[in-house]
Amino acid sequence: MAIAEDLEISKFLNGRPKQLFIGGKWVDSASGKTFNTLDPSTGEVLAKVAEGDVEDIDRAVLAARRAHNTGIWCDLPPSERAKVLWRAGDLIEERAMEFAQLDSLDNGKPINEMLLFDVPLTAATFRYYAGWVTKLHGETQQTSFPGRYLSYTLRQPIGVVGAIIPWNFPLMMAAWKVAPALACGNPVVLKPAEQTPLSALLLAEILAEADLPPGVFNVVPGFGETAGARLASHPDVDKIAFTGSTAVGKLIARAAAESNLKRVSLELGGKSPNIVFADADIARAASGAFLGIFFNQGQVCTAGSRLYVQEKIYDETVDEVTKMAANVHMGPGIDPMTQMGPLVSEEQMERVLGYIQQGQDEGARLISGGSRATDLGKGYFVKPTVFADVDGSMAIAKEEIFGPVLAAIPFSTEEDLIAKANDSIYGLVAGVWTRDIKRAHRVAHALQAGIVYVNCYNVADPATPWGGHKQSGWGRELGPYALDLYTELKNVIVDIAE
């Protein structure tokens, strides 16, 4: 393992194989098997991790169920539960560098982005939901017979929550599910992505240190088809929260339907339009377009992968973005100078290179990048790639690539633009760049997307809802909206007549 000795995280990495965290204890997998997680900047093994499978998921669900039934978490005074979540936020902040190094090595992402985005947002998410713990309440209803029936609602924990998360923001995706689930009084079984299992294990250590009772948070690393599938179809899991591909989201919905109709929330793929009108501030729009697609190597569900630019400023804007792409400093995520790291895996690199080939075959004009950055060794580096004059019917304009590939498409009128932008099976995010305030709101109103950014892009905050229309998913994470995902509503009707 070629991990620099002086990294803060080296102790965590250089120990024995990482174990599963079940019922408050570190344990081996039932099969004794392990799998390797790689450093995608070199392709070398970063750590060995216990491989959870059906039996391990079953053990973890049982531990969670016991914790729930004994009430060690949900029956605590809300202020005590809030304290645990707030403390988790503090501890994440204290150990920011360890988390940053860990996800940066495991995923390849630039460490500065971890320190400026993922880690602070993770801490903020725990703190935000710490605030909600003491404010969960039902309502009273005015019935048709107020003197006879008193009606009120209770918001109660949903039960055992299974969380299945992807590899693109490993720590932050865990927090977006775990923090609201815990705030609402539920125990959690988390299955991190097989490409990036490590930060979830460090999170388990942190939550234990924050005095979360044993069994309330369990982590079972393993593969999707085995551990993930078992969690989705488990008869004693009450809710699955999933972020990942639309294809797997459909499998999860089916598994839930065929098992116990557990509740499901899905945050899935996107093919988001980033739209620049001729009256926009071109410099800002161009850098918004650049960050919109190349942030996190383009491996972002909200990536602004379709860049629509109004004809009059099309050449100038696309030139500007291309110049920025050509100047990106690529390297291992762990190097603080790096602006763009490798893709997460060889498989992902091959998938992205396949789309680049297809774009060329279908006649799109490649104006920047378009290949692997082989000068960086064996890592899975793909150069930031820009295609111009893309037609809406091409695969690179329709399918989620999940890599650093931008498809620039000219448009003439607002009407023409809206039809093009909405012509997608997805509806996660859209960006609008304009100085015309009426146009900004009019277009935001017309776009089919869960989030519309006006003169900004990829802003995320624990207080604002996150999720999509159409095949981008079900439900909204973050903000007070997530409380609906992690509670059951109970209506109590009382006959109060004498």
Site residues for ligand NAI per CB under 6 A: 164-168, 191, 193-194, 223-225, 228-229, 232, 243-245, 248, 251-252, 268-269, 301, 351, 400, 402
Choose among ligand NAI, Mg ion, none what residue 225 binds, the Cβ cut-off being 5 to 8 Å by kind: ligand NAI
434 binds, among Mg ion, ligand NAI, none (CB under 5 to 8 A by kind): none
Alpha-carbon distances, residue 11 vs 4, 103, 486 (angstroms): 11, 15, 35
Rounded Cα gap, residues 356 and 391, in angstroms: 14
When the beta carbons of 219 and 280 are compared against ligand NAI, the nearer one is: 219
| Shortest spacing between CB 83 and ligand NAI, in angstroms | 30
CB of 243 to ligand NAI, least distance (A): 5
For residues 38 and 396, which CB has a smaller minimum distance to Mg ion in the complex?
Answer: 38
Q: Are 459 and 453 in contact (CB under 8 A)?
A: yes
Q: How many residues bind Mg ion (CB under 5 A)?
A: 4
Show which residues are catalytic: 267, 301
**How long, in residues, is the chain?**
498
**190 with 178: CB under 8 angstroms?**
yes
3-state secondary structure of 459: coil
| DSSP letter assigned to residue 295 | G
Rounded distance between C-alpha atoms, residue 434 and residue 411, angstroms: 14
Partner whose footprint covers residue 210, from Mg ion, ligand NAI, none (CB < 5 to 8 Å by kind): none
Rounded to 5°, the CA angle 120-121-125 comes to 120
Query: 152 pairs with which residues across the strands?
Result: 140, 492
How far is it, in rounded angstroms, from Cα 264 to Cα 294?
A: 30
Single out the residue of 296, 225, 314 nearest to residue 40, CA to CA.
296
Residue 216 interacts, among Mg ion, ligand NAI, none and using kind-specific CB cut-offs from 5 to 8 Å, with none
Rg (CA), the chain: 23
- Give 406 or 443: the residue with its C-beta nearer to ligand NAI: 406
Least distance (Å) from ligand NAI to the CB of residue 117? 15
The first and second tokens of residue 1, run together, are 């393992």
The whole-angstrom separation of Cα 409 and Cα 426 is 18
With CB under 5 to 8 Å by kind, the binding choice for 295 among ligand NAI, Mg ion, none is: none
User: The tokens of 278 are what?
Assistant: 């001729």
Shortest Cβ 431–ligand NAI spacing (Å): 17
In 289-389 the beta strands, taken as DSSP E runs, fall at 306-310, 365-368, 385-388
DSSP letter string over 257-289?
A: HHTT--EEEEE-----EEEE-TTS-HHHHHHHH
Of positions 37, 42, 246, 274, contacts Mg ion by CB under 5 A: 37
Closest distance of CB 299 from Mg ion, Å: 13
Interface positions, 447-476, toward Mg ion (CB under 5 A): none
- In the complex, the smallest distance separating the C-beta of residue 380 from ligand NAI, rounded to whole angstroms, is 13
Choices 13-21, 87-95, 190-198, 368-376; region in contact with Mg ion by CB under 5 A: 190-198
Nearer CB in complex with ligand NAI: 272/487: 272
Q: Judged by CB under 5 A, which stretch of 24-32, 35-43, 66-74, 388-396 contacts Mg ion?
A: 35-43
Structure tokens belonging to residue 53: 């499978």
Interatomic CA distance for residues 412 and 426, integer angstroms = 23
Q: Between 301 and 373, name the residue whose CB sits nearer to ligand NAI.
A: 301
Residue 424 binds to Mg ion (criterion: CB under 5 A) = no
- Separation of alpha carbons 441 and 432, rounded Å: 9
| Dist. CA 228–CA 353, nearest whole Å | 27
- Write the interaction track for Mg ion spanning residues 90-109; mark x where CB under 5 A is met and - where it is not: ----------------x---
Residue 7 or 300 with smaller CB distance to ligand NAI: 300
- Closer to ligand NAI by Cβ: residue 162 or 379: 162
37 binds, among Mg ion, ligand NAI, none (CB under 5 to 8 A by kind): Mg ion
* Least distance CB 44 / Mg ion (angstroms): 10
301 binds, among Mg ion, ligand NAI, none (CB under 5 to 8 A by kind): ligand NAI
Point out which residues bind Mg ion (CB under 5 A). 37-38, 106, 195
